[in-house]
Amino acid sequence: MKAGLESLGIAVPPTYVELAELAKARGVAPGKYVDGLGVTRMAVPLVEEDTVTLAARAARMALDAAGATGEDVGMLVVGTETAVDHSKPVSSYVQGLLGVSTRCRVFETKHACYGGTAALQMALDWVRSGSAKGKKALIICSDIARYGVGTPGEPTQGGGAVALLVSDTPKLLAFEAGKSGVYAKDVMDFWRPLYSKDAVVDGHYSVQCYLDALEGAYKAYQEAAGDAGEGGLYSDRFAALVYHVPYGKMSRKAHRHVRALDGDKEPDASFDRLVGPSLVLPSQVGNIYTGSMYLALASLLSTSREDLTGKRIGLFSYGSGSCAEFFSGVVQPEAQARVKALGLETLLERRRALSIPEYEAIMAAREKLDEKPAEDTAGEGFRYQGTRDHKRIYTR
């Protein structure tokens, strides 16, 4: 049985910071952030946005794009590393906001940026096994990436969500059953202690951990696929490669490593062809943790000028701590037209730039957001209003 993405949806905050402006404010050469890290703009969520509202917005877009409703969903999972509660999952709030059926498995998954991929793989197996019985899985990757003002990680923040509607009628990407390689290792490269809103990171070590995991997962994929040694550079079997993208330069480092493993003497030469289109949207949003690789996939399908129909895409998901997976899928007819019709580039163009003081004020306000008394705020869409009686209140 086929299993894959029937549709996808994206949510990004309506506001961002220009990284060239942030660099100037921090006394750093703008080239370091824009060229050195490969990020132009960083999404900054407003105080009425959180992991729940971003997830609900992305899910709404994915359901609408497929002409589906909450009644069609039999599994609703949110992969996140910036949840809003130690016990109640983000997915339960989303279930309520979207009116998803009570006959549904609803839960949350966590393994840093890999949490969404863990949920996706579970959903694919659920569909392939026949247990879904025609129902769809709604997998949502939602996060607000936060390292804190003035830290080395500051220019690699961001926020947003990607929703993936998974079913036996994939209209975007059909994943290849059995073609997957995993790699997991207990490392302290990036984490967020229970008492902290900001992530703690050993930045340069995290880059090395990512590359080690990529190598392990890529080799495991080749063993699982059983087609290594059939001639040519192995990664040329993919029409595009989509890497987890905490910042654009990391994808370049990843691709260089993959091509070097293949024995390519010019590992950078294929970067624009195989990776370039997947970085157009991420360079405007920054890191969205669990959703980063899926935003890159949306970027590829939305901006590539090549007809990818029937072609194989390689995907690499990395979660610090660590767990990683290299897997693949085949692009379905009309997939690119369907994703283009979502108007994702226009969505990003319509955002408003924040001044650095405005951004810093939002960062400070977010410190106390979980305890903010709920107040009725006017406006459209899903919004976090604050807490009352220890309960988070959202507009529906």
Instruction: Give the binding range for ligand CAA (CB under 6 A) out of 35-43, 328-336, 371-379, 384-392.
Output: 35-43
Residue with smaller CB distance to ligand CAA, 270 or 304: 270
* Cα 243 from Cα 136, distance rounded (Å): 26
Examine residue 10 and tell whether it contacts ligand CAA (CB under 6 A).
Answer: no
Catalytic residue among 81, 154, 215, 325: 81
Q: Phi then psi for 347, rounded to 5 degrees? A: -55, -40
Contact status, residue 272 vs residue 259, Cβ threshold 8 Å:
no
Residue nearest to ligand CAA (CB): 36
Q: Phi then psi for 392, rounded to 5 degrees? A: -75, 135
Q: Is 113 a residue of the active site?
A: yes
Catalytic residue among 108, 111, 209, 244: 244
Binder of ligand CAA out of 14, 32, 236, 377 (CB under 6 A): 32
Instruction: Give the binding range for ligand CAA (CB under 6 A) out of 149-157, 272-280, 295-303, 334-342.
Output: 149-157
Select from 191, 194, 219 the least CA-distant residue to 319.
191
Tokens 């910036």: give the residue: 82
Binder of ligand CAA out of 126, 218, 221, 289 (CB under 6 A): 289
Instruction: Give the binding range for ligand CAA (CB under 6 A) out of 10-18, 95-103, 242-250, 298-306.
Output: 242-250
Examine residue 316 and tell whether it contacts ligand CAA (CB under 6 A).
Answer: no
* Cα 192 from Cα 186, distance rounded (Å): 15
Instruction: Give the binding range for ligand CAA (CB under 6 A) out of 27-35, 100-108, 217-225, 347-355.
Output: 27-35
Examine residue 361 and tell whether it contacts ligand CAA (CB under 6 A).
Answer: no
Examine residue 244 and tell whether it contacts ligand CAA (CB under 6 A).
Answer: yes
The Cβ-side half-sphere exposure at 19, using a 13 Å CA radius, reads: 27
Select from 350, 370, 293 the least CA-distant residue to 82.
370
Examine residue 201 and tell whether it contacts ligand CAA (CB under 6 A).
Answer: yes
CB of residue 245 vs ligand CAA: minimum separation in angstroms?
A: 8
Helix (H, G, I), strand (E, B) or coil at 77: strand
Binder of ligand CAA out of 15, 109, 284, 287 (CB under 6 A): 287
* Cα 121 from Cα 181, distance rounded (Å): 12
Residue with smaller CB distance to ligand CAA, 135 or 244: 244
Catalytic residue among 113, 141, 209, 323: 113
The identity of residue 88, as a single letter, is K
CB of residue 132 vs ligand CAA: minimum separation in angstroms?
A: 30
Q: Is 244 a residue of the active site?
A: yes
CB of residue 363 vs ligand CAA: minimum separation in angstroms?
A: 16
> Which element (helix H / strand E) includes 129?
helix 115-129
Cα diameter, the chain: 64
> Which element (helix H / strand E) includes 184?
strand 173-184
Applying the rule CB under 6 A, the residues between 317 and 356 that interact with ligand CAA are 318, 320
* Cα 133 from Cα 239, distance rounded (Å): 33
Handedness of CA 147, 149, 151, 157 (dihedral sign): positive
**135: left (phi > 0), else alpha (psi -120 to 50), else beta?**
beta
Kindly list the residues in this chain that would bind ligand CAA in the complex (CB under 6 A): 29, 31-32, 35-37, 113, 152-153, 156, 189-190, 201, 203-204, 206-207, 210, 244, 246-247, 249-250, 287, 289, 318, 320
**Which amino acids are annotated catalytic?**
81, 113, 244
